[in-house]
Chains A and B, each alone.
Chain A
Amino acid sequence: MHWENLPLVLFFSIVPAASVVALYALGIRLLTASGRTPIVAPLEFTDAIAIVTPEEILKNEKRARQAAKKSPLSQAQKNAAYVAAWLCFVSSGAVVLLGIWLILPISHK
């Protein structure tokens, strides 16, 4: 039996998943710091839990704008945070693409 495959699967499941999520979450944090808090409403209310009324969405957008105004960061710092946020998103995507590439037989030739 190839027992060595078990720790391999353990490692390559937890580490990439945690990395992708951490990078994306960091991107969101930086995006919020840059004053561009993402407000993404559910596309369709299929679930009672997910219901957000249009008023709530407007309220959230207003809160985000107010929070951005009160930010202690300078405009240059906000711009840097925005660029860093996108770097995080791109890195997150790159980890996913690397993972897919590694399982392709062509990558082992």
Chain B
Amino acid sequence: MVLVIALALFFDFTNGFHDTANAMATPIATGAMKPKVAVALAAVLNLIGAFLSTEVAKTISGGIIREGHDGISVGPEMIFAGLIGAIVWNMATWLFGLPSSSSHALFGGLIGAALVGAGFGAIDVNVLLAKVIIPALFAPLVAGIAAFAATRIAYGITRRYDGKPDGRDGFRRAQIFSSGLVALAHGTNDAQKTMGIITLTLIAVGAQAPKTGPQFWVIVACAIAIALGTYMGGWRIIRTIGTGLTEVKPAQGFAAETSTAATILASSHVGFALSTTQVASGSVIGSGLGRRGSKVRWKTVRHIVTGWLLTLPASAAVGAIAAVIALLGAPGVFLNAVLGGGVLLAMYLVSRRKPVNHLNVSEVAESAAAVKIKKNPKPKRKVASSKGAK
């Protein structure tokens, strides 16, 4: 049980590490905040966000894995195997700079392990569908629509037809707040997933009654873990989302972040365990489409969507393999820990060949230089006033 809790907290750490970009890619890209400040702010707000709600944690601990009269059919060793699957996939996508979903990696790993350990009956398909699969498809789309509308509104209201300064630089200041809001929202959804896993483990070993929410120490531990992970950063992912998707301007960034935060907060409130990465990406794409003359790089979008689609089955496969090993009992759990640790160490060593941190995050500029910047078309008033006057 202690090993599972430690690994769950490590997963929480990697989640923060992986998802820093969700909140901070756009303000860093537009120059609203210095990277180091942005990451520190994200860490603090993730910490606060983790305390705001527990609905998502309840979805994980009391929903996806079916509870029988005698408790949960999945033991802590299977939860451990699921976590190995999630972490290995998370770290692999981080290494390759592919925005994957930490949440879906977690669900995938858990489902793969549960299927091997306890069969199809262990999964509550209804809850999985209602609170994970459908929100996974629905939330990025909603965020994209919201961002599209918000961007149109922002540009529409501030547009000047007389060529005078439009003051859109002012959105850069707003981005400090909106990106902070995304970090807060991230804490309300993602930190809770680990709370749910730890609660599930406590229920599985009989240390907590079924259908109860996370204990306070669990909330505190998860909040600290996600905040630390966020602070350690995720520069490779920032590089992909911040400039890889579209040419982000302050007004657009503000619209995208506000939409991301609104979607995550609304979803957290009803217990949707969604992927904050997917929501952030949906918003950035939606806001890009909302701008005139803006060009979204669909090749990058395809790259990201492929990562999303792969996440659930890939992490489920790793979780299932780990679960097969875990079936050996205590030696299996030990072997899992050694193998998982070995894979992570190898990934870390590979990543050290080209380290990315706050000092050389301007690699972003390097990749952005290759971008063909399409100049905004001059706004034209649609009314026929000039013709009519003549």
Q: Which residues of A contact B (CB under 8 A)?
A: 1-2, 5-6, 8-10, 12-14, 16-18, 20-22, 24-29, 31-32, 37-52, 60, 63-64, 67, 93, 96, 99-100, 102-105
The answer to whether B34 touches A44, judged by C-beta atoms less than 8 angstroms apart, is yes
B-chain residues with CB within 8 Å of residue A48 when the two chains form the complex: 364-366, 368-369, 371
CB of B101 to closest CB in A, whole Å: 18
The answer to whether A9 touches B129, judged by C-beta atoms less than 8 angstroms apart, is no
Given contacts A17-B261, A28-B170, A46-B364, 12 further A-B contacts (CB under 8 A): A9-B135, A14-B145, A17-B149, A25-B157, A29-B158, A38-B170, A41-B169, A42-B30, A43-B31, A48-B368, A49-B371, A51-B365
A24-B171, A105-B53 known; A47+B364 contact, CB < 8 A: yes
Contact code string B32-47 (vs A, CB < 8 Å = 1, else 0): 1111000000000000
- Give complex CA distance A42, B168 in Å: 12
B-chain residues with CB within 8 Å of residue A67 when the two chains form the complex: 164-165
CB of B58 to closest CB in A, whole Å: 11
- Give complex CA distance A82, B81 in Å: 59
Closest 4 pairs between A and B when the two form their complex, measured CB to CB: A42-B31, A38-B170, A25-B157, A12-B266
Number of A-B contacts (CB under 8 A): 191
Interface size counted on chain B using CB atoms at 8 A: 76
Q: Is the interface of B mostly helix, strand, loop or mixed?
A: helix
A-B contact pairs, 26 of them (CB 8 A): A1-B126, A1-B129, A2-B270, A8-B266, A9-B266, A17-B259, A17-B263, A25-B171, A25-B251, A28-B157, A31-B167, A32-B164, A43-B33, A44-B31, A44-B34, A46-B362, A46-B364, A48-B366, A64-B165, A64-B167, A67-B165, A96-B177, A102-B269, A103-B268, A103-B269, A105-B54
The answer to whether B52 touches A21, judged by C-beta atoms less than 8 angstroms apart, is no
**B150 interfacial contact with A, CB 8 Å:** yes
CB of A92 to closest CB in B, whole Å: 8
- Please pick, from A5, A9, A40, A100, the residue contacting B184 in the complex, using a CB distance under 8 A: A100
8 A Cβ contacts from B121-161 to A: 126, 129-130, 134-135, 138-139, 142-143, 145-147, 149-151, 153-154, 156-158, 160
Specify the chain A residue showing the minimal Cβ separation from B248: A49
- Give complex CA distance A64, B168 in Å: 12
**B243 interfacial contact with A, CB 8 Å:** yes
- Please pick, from A18, A31, A60, A102, the residue contacting B170 in the complex, using a CB distance under 8 A: A31
